[in-house]
Amino acid sequence: MTTTPAGGRHGKPWRAAGAVVVVTLAMVGAGMIGASLKTPPAPRPPQPQAQAGPEVTGPAATDADVPSVQGQPVGEGDVPAGLARSAPTSIEIPRIGVNATIMSLGTNPDGTVQVPPLEKADQAGWYEPGASPGETGNAVIVGHVDSAKLGPAVFFDLGSLVPGDTVTVRRADGQPVTFRVDSVKSYPKTAFPTELVYGPNDRPGLRVVTCGGQFDETVRSYPDNVVVFATLVE
C-alpha cells in the first residue's frame, strides 16, 4: 500500500487537492488495501449486503447524491458534541474480530495518500490531515484487505458489517470513542464518493475504507471499494 487509496491488492492513488482529497480509484501498483499476490489469491472477502452503493455520478458525489448514507436523520439535540483533537492509536471492531494498531498517514510529494506498508497489512492507517476520531467531521481510517505476506489483512471482513455494529477507536488522550455503523456500501472505484468520505460533516463521523469485489486476475486489482459509514454515539 505504498501510495494508494483504500483498496485492493493493487491500486491507484488518492490525491489531495487543497484540504480535500480527490480519489482516483482504478488502483495500480502495490495497492493500498491489498497487494498483488504472487501465490494463489486468498478467498474472496465478504461483500456488503447491499452489493452496490447508491448511484453516484463521479468521484466527487455529494450528500445530495446519496441521501441515505448517513442513516436515519436525528434531531439537533441528538448530535454528540465533538471532542478535542487526539490521534487514534487502535481500532476495535467486535463483529469481525479486529483489534489493530493505527498508524498516522499523510500525503506523498506527488499528492497521493500514504498507506500502511504491506509488511504491516495487519495495521490500519488514519488520514491525519482530516478529522481525528471523535472530532466534528469525518475521520478516515483505511486498511488492506489482503497481502501476499499475510493473506487476509486487517479489513478482510469489513464488508460483512451491518448497520448497528460498533467500531471503537482508542485515542492518545486515553479517551475511547465508539461509533455506530449507519451503512456499509460498495462502490466501483471509478465512482468513489469522495465528498461523502472526505467532505465536511456537522457531527463526528467515521469512514473505514478497504477494497472489495471479485479480484480481477487480469488487471491484478479489486474493482470496488467497501466503505463503512459510522456516527459517534454518546
Instruction: Find the radius of gyration of the CA atoms of the chain.
Output: 16
What are the DSSP calls for 83-140, one per residue? Answer: PPP--EEEEEEGGGTEEEEEEEE-B-TTSBBP---GGGTTSEEEETTSPPBTBSEEEE
User: 71 in a domain, yes or no?
Assistant: no
User: 8 in a domain, yes or no?
Assistant: no
90: cell is 487502535
Closest to 153 (Cα-Cα) out of 97, 107, 108, 89: 97
User: 127 in a domain, yes or no?
Assistant: yes
The residue that leads in pLDDT, 219 or 172, is 172
What are the DSSP calls for 141-153, one per residue? Answer: EE--SEETTTEE-
Q: pTM score, two decimals?
A: 0.76
Q: What is the pLDDT of residue 70?
A: 33
Q: What is the pLDDT of residue 51?
A: 59
Q: Are 6 and 33 in contact (CB under 8 A)?
A: yes
Q: What is the pLDDT of residue 62?
A: 29
**Domain of residue 209, CATH code:** 2.40.260.10
User: 1 in a domain, yes or no?
Assistant: no
Q: Are 228 and 142 in contact (CB under 8 A)?
A: no
pLDDT category of residue 28 using cuts at 50, 70 and 90: very low
Q: What is the pLDDT of residue 46?
A: 93
Task: Work out the percent of the chain whose per-residue pLDDT is above 90.
Answer: 53
The residue-averaged pLDDT of 18-38 equals 40
pLDDT category of residue 74 using cuts at 50, 70 and 90: very low
User: 169 in a domain, yes or no?
Assistant: yes
The residue that leads in pLDDT, 30 or 34, is 34
86: cell is 487526539
User: 80 in a domain, yes or no?
Assistant: no
Mean residue pLDDT across the chain: 77
User: 28 in a domain, yes or no?
Assistant: yes
C-alpha 37/C-alpha 31 separation (Å) is 11
The residue-averaged pLDDT of 72-85 equals 66
User: 5 in a domain, yes or no?
Assistant: no
Domain residues for 62? 14-39+56-66+85-232
The residue that leads in pLDDT, 199 or 3, is 199
The residue-averaged pLDDT of 84-93 equals 98
Q: Are 46 and 213 in contact (CB under 8 A)?
A: no
Q: What is the pLDDT of residue 134?
A: 98
| Cβ-based neighbours of 113, under 8 Å, separated by 6 or more | 3, 4, 5, 13, 14, 15, 16, 21, 32, 105, 106, 107, 127, 142
CB atoms within 10 A of CB 16: 20
Question: What phi-psi label fits residue 33: left (phi over 0), alpha (psi between -120 and 50 degrees) or beta?
Answer: left
Structurally, the chain folds into a number of domains equal to: 1
The residue-averaged pLDDT of 31-50 equals 62
What single letter denotes the amino acid at residue 81? A
**Which of 35-49, 97-111, 147-161, 162-176 has the least mean pLDDT?**
35-49
Q: What is the pLDDT of residue 153?
A: 95
pLDDT category of residue 156 using cuts at 50, 70 and 90: very high
